[in-house]
Amino acid sequence: MFFKTIDFSKYSSIKIGQPTEVLMLELNDMIPSDRYLIGGANNLLISPTPPLLMMLSKDFATIEQEDDMLIIGAAMPTGRILSYAKKHDITGFEFCSKLPGTLGGMLAMNAGVKAYEVFNILHSIKIKGEWRKIQDIEHGYRFAKLGGIATHAKFKIKKGFDQALLGNLLNLRTNQPREPSAGSAFKNPKNDYAGRLIESIGLKGKRRGDMQWSEIHANFLVNLGNGSFEDAKYLIDLAKETILKECGVVLQEEIKLL
């Protein structure tokens, strides 16, 4: 293991944070229990006082075929998984297009687009050195109880990369804000949309400092330049409290605040 200084104002997708020492884990390292693991920081909001952090090094950015299985390391970026699937004519990973992050982040969040979620195509996950079948892991909409750090995952290979599906999924993304964000700030409540609720209370486009509830997609908290953690947190709390008061709905953050 070794330390690396990561500047979260550049590394995180929402471009908020400061240079921070992160412990980089190598292949046979013991995983410390007093540190929070991050992946590509596409779903994170880093405060000025984050917990101690760690990250899987490139030792875990691997992808290999073993019989009819694809074994992928948890530090593998989604874009590279998609390219590999395309090159080897494998289907199932088309939804990874424009879903930024690493495999580890996808597993922890059960990330997905519409009906396509990573748990739909998974076979098993290696957690604390043990392979666990997905039937034994509680998971649902944007959550999975992994119970530890995932280092690898296995997917049964299915041939036939679906170029048309990829095209459709890319089209869905044309209405997404272009400014830095961490994707959807809140999970959608049952039978409703967080974006609709934010719009209904008049917060679509609401700005504080350089942070704003996007004018294009109300559930995206965007950074217009020099956005700060405090301004992002203010807008998140404002939306949560107002929606509870006016709509009686408890919203749950999809973004992890550290």
Ligand X SMILES: Cc1cc2nc3c(=O)[nH]c(=O)nc-3n(C[C@H](O)[C@H](O)[C@H](O)COP(=O)(O)OP(=O)(O)OC[C@H]3O[C@@H](n4cnc5c(N)ncnc54)[C@H](O)[C@@H]3O)c2cc1C
Binding residue for ligand X, selected from 45, 81, 109, 251, defined by CB under 6 A: 109
Residue 239 near ligand X by CB under 6 A = no
Nearest residue to ligand X by CB is 105
Binding residue for ligand X, selected from 25, 81, 182, 185, defined by CB under 6 A: 182
Binding residue for ligand X, selected from 6, 16, 25, 41, defined by CB under 6 A: 41
Q: Is 5 exposed, middle or buried (0-12, 13-18, 19+ CB in 10 A)?
A: exposed
Per the annotation, the verdict on 208 as an active-site residue is no
Q: Which residues pair with 124 in a beta bridge?
A: 133, 154
Beta strand pairing call for 112-113 and 63-66: unpaired
How far apart are CB 151 and ligand X at their closest, in Å?
7
Per the annotation, the verdict on 254 as an active-site residue is yes
Residue 222 near ligand X by CB under 6 A = no
Residue 81 near ligand X by CB under 6 A = no
Nearest to 42 by CA among 75, 86, 12: 12
Per the annotation, the verdict on 181 as an active-site residue is no
Nearer to ligand X, 105 or 239 (CB): 105
Nearer to ligand X, 105 or 231 (CB): 105
Burial letters 50-83, b for 16+ CB under 10 A, else e: beebbbbbeebbebeeeeeebbbbbbbbbeebbe
How far apart are CB 171 and ligand X at their closest, in Å?
13
How far apart are CB 229 and ligand X at their closest, in Å?
15
> What kind and span of H or E run contains 70?
strand 69-73
CA 232 vs CA 10, 41, 130, 189, 240: distances in Å: 17, 16, 38, 21, 12
Residue 137 near ligand X by CB under 6 A = no
Residue 181 near ligand X by CB under 6 A = yes
Q: Catalytic residue numbers?
A: 142, 184, 254
